[in-house]
Each structure stands twice: as structure tokens, then as C-alpha cells.
């Protein structure tokens, strides 16, 4: 357990006195620092908040934006909802897979990119929609796959 996590847990509990309410911001803060949530991290968080580890694991699993395995420096989500699918998101995903040499759900060997599917990102008017480190990009037609990968974004 990193020493600062205790302080972060105290701050989360001060803001959200119920432990299960403090859980989400604490997980978020730790993921921002560590890049992902390892199984040992979830155990540590359970201990810090005095919650059952199974509960912490179930919450971390429910939300797809909590990463349970290491991700790349740039996390690229491609929306596969109906509007985006009709606008070509499957071809966009295919081109990204070709350019990166990985399938959706995987990280490039150099750790630069993780490519993930997303359900409707609630920006259907921009279809096909992608996100790079949670920043919305759209419309991103398949021929703009290169531009999408070159986006400069903070992590």
C-alpha cells in the first residue's frame, strides 16, 4: 500500500462519510496515480475503507472505466452503439486494429495504446464517436483513424 493512499482515504471519508460513497472517488484517485487497479490495490482499498473486499471488487468490475489490468498511455474507446455502427464505427475499429496490430481489448506491446469498445457514449449526433483518454472525438470516419491516434491528450 502506498503511504499516500491512507491520506487519500481520509480525505474521501471526510467528504463522503459513508464508506461505500467514499469508495468511487478513492478508486478514481488511485487509478489516476497508478494507471489501473491491481487486485492487491482493491484489497488495500477495502482495508482502508473497512469494506468487504468482495464489495470493492464488484464495484470496480461494474464500472468499465476502472481498469483491472494495465492500460496504455492512450486509451482509445470506439463507440459500437447503433448510431455509431451505422456511421462506420466497425470499419473505424478495424482500421485501428490494423494500424496498432492489436485487437480490441488489447494494449500495444510498447504500452502506447489500449483499444477498447464502448457502448453508446451519449454523443450520437457526432457518430462515429471515439474517445482518447476520455476526451470526445467525433465524427471520426474510418479514414481519420491515423489522425485519431495522433491526438495529443493528457492522461
The secondary structure of residue 111, as a DSSP letter, is: S
Q: Give residue 84's Cα distance to chain centre.
A: 19
Residue pointed to by grid coordinates 468499465: 64
> Which part of the chain contacts ligand FES (CB under 6 A), choosing from 11-19, 64-72, 82-90, 109-117?
82-90
Residue of 49, 79, 145, 149 that binds ligand FES (CB under 6 A): 79
- The length of the chain, given as a count of residues: 155
Residue of 38, 59, 123, 153 that binds ligand FES (CB under 6 A): 123
Instruction: State in angstroms the smallest separation of the CB of 126 from ligand FES.
Output: 7
Instruction: State in angstroms the smallest separation of the CB of 148 from ligand FES.
Output: 15
Q: Is 83 in the site for ligand FES (CB under 6 A)?
A: yes
String of b and e for 3-28 (b: at least 16 CB within 10 Å)? Answer: eebeebbeebbeebeebeebbebbbe
Residue of 104, 120, 141, 144 that binds ligand FES (CB under 6 A): 120
Amino acid at each position: 500500500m502506498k503511504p499516500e493512499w491512507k491520506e487519500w482515504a481520509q480525505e474521501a471519508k471526510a467528504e463522503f462519510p459513508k464508506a461505500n460513497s467514499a469508495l468511487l472517488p478513492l478508486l478514481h484517485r488511485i487509478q489516476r496515480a497508478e494507471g489501473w487497479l491491481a487486485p492487491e490495490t482493491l484489497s488495500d482499498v477495502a482495508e482502508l475503507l473497512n469494506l468487504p473486499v468482495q464489495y470493492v471488487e464488484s464495484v470496480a468490475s461494474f464500472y468499465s472505466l476502472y481498469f483491472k489490468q494495465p492500460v496504455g498511455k492512450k486509451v482509445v474507446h470506439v463507440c459500437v452503439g447503433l448510431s455509431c455502427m451505422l456511421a462506420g464505427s466497425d470499419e473505424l475499429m478495424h482500421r485501428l486494429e490494423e494500424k496498432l496490430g492489436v485487437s480490441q481489448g488489447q494494449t500495444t506491446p510498447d504500452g502506447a495504446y489500449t483499444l477498447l469498445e464502448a457502448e453508446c457514449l451519449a454523443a450520437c449526433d457526432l457518430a462515429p464517436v471515439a474517445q482518447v483518454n476520455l476526451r470526445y472525438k467525433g465524427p471520426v470516419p474510418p479514414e481519420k483513424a491515423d489522425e485519431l491516434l495522433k491526438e495529443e491528450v493528457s492522461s
